[in-house]
Amino acid sequence: MKRFFVNSILGHFALAARDKFGLLRTALSQPESVGTLANDQLATMLITRICQPGKTFVDVGAHIGSVISEVLRHDRRIRVIAIEAIPEKVAHLRRKFRNVEVVECAVGESAGDAPFFVNKSQSAYSSLSRPSGASIAFREIRVRIERLDGIVPWHEVDAIKIDVEGAELGVIRGSEKTLSESRPSVMFESAPIHGNDGGYTKEDLWNQFSKQSYSILVPNRVAHNDDGLSLEGFLESHLYPRRSTNYFAIPNERRVEIRDHARRIIGVKVTN
């Protein structure tokens, strides 16, 4: 049903209604988690509108195309590259988004191939890591792995969304040329570690961005004066109730530019 409504006006309103209902339900049942959910919804709003016209938006882990749909709804001048590992989802994306370049592969630190584990009940949680829970039903497929630097026009990328269930650091390490040449804004998921997190640590992830002169911010700080999370702050933000599931990595030299753009997106009026 979700696939059918993606990339339609009805689908857009359904997603908006779902978000509002989700906030209300969380406020009533888990008030301490409202901030987490609000930040995740704000993250989607920002990443779907932050790419500059005429530039390239890259969706790593495109799933059924909800983010792609919102990007194109706001500005069809943006070139979109969708990357997805599950063949059925790739076929769906190619049918639904005729003007989007869809690449069938996983993205990692080095090119090759690897087993990929498709979650049978919640396909959005499929990943390169074997599920650790005994009750999780999955099927194993073989997928191609590519470095992002080998897929995208690294000199034209302005925004990247990464949702790859624990393999985010591999994507970043395989994107060094893109990050150094294009200096895009990056939204990435970083949830608390449960079981196998691809062999990576949160410290590794923070250090990789720091090495490339990026600062990591919680979504509700992107439009405000904030130099980013320290390593300790980033680690602390994963504790329950966590600050967010999604974070922004912003090039240090573009911090003011992105801050001001984010203010326009969400309608923040600040005089300084």
Indicate which CATH number applies to the domain containing 47: 3.40.50.150
Q: Give me the phi and psi of 258, to 5 degrees please.
A: -70, -35
Whether residue 102 is contained in a domain is answered as yes
Residue 93, domain member (yes or no): yes
User: DSSP class of residue 1?
Assistant: -
Query: Is 145 contained in some domain?
Result: yes
* Structural domain includes residue 56: yes
> CA-CA distance, 213 to 259, in Å (whole number)?
16
Q: Quick check: is 259 in a domain?
A: yes
272 lies in some domain:
no
Helix intervals (H) in 97-229? 168-173, 176-182, 202-211
Name the DSSP letter for residue 220. G
Tell me which H or E stretch contains 109.
none
Question: What CA–CA distance (Å, rounded) separates 76 from 155?
Answer: 20
The pLDDT value recorded for residue 3 is 58
Cα 263 vs. chain centroid, distance in angstroms? 20
228: left (phi over 0), alpha (psi -120 to 50) or beta: left
The model's pTM: 0.90
Residue 167 lies in a domain: yes
Q: How high is the pLDDT of residue 196?
A: 47
In a domain, 159, yes or no: yes
For residue 119, give its domain range.
2-266
Provide the number of structural domains found in the chain: 1
Q: Give the torsion sign (CA, 203, 204, 208, 209).
A: negative
Per DSSP, 89 falls in state H
Q: What is the C-alpha to C-alpha distance for residues 219 and 232, in angstroms, rounded to an integer?
A: 18
Quote the tokens at residue 70: 């919102």
Which pLDDT tens digits describe the chain residue by residue (272 residues)? 455 556 666 666 666 777 777 767 877 788 888 889 899 999 999 999 999 999 999 999 999 999 999 999 999 999 999 999 999 999 999 999 999 999 999 999 999 999 999 998 888 888 888 887 667 888 999 999 999 999 998 889 999 999 998 899 999 999 999 999 999 999 999 988 654 456 689 999 999 999 999 999 999 999 999 999 999 999 999 999 999 999 999 999 999 999 999 999 999 887 55
- What residues does 253 pair with on adjacent strands? none
Q: How far apart are CA 145 and CA 165, in angstroms?
A: 15
Burial 245-270 (b: 16+ CB within 10 A, else e): bbbbbbbeebbeebbebbeebeeeee
Distance of CA 227 to the CA centre of its chain: 21
Beta carbons of 34 and 23 less than 8 angstroms apart: yes
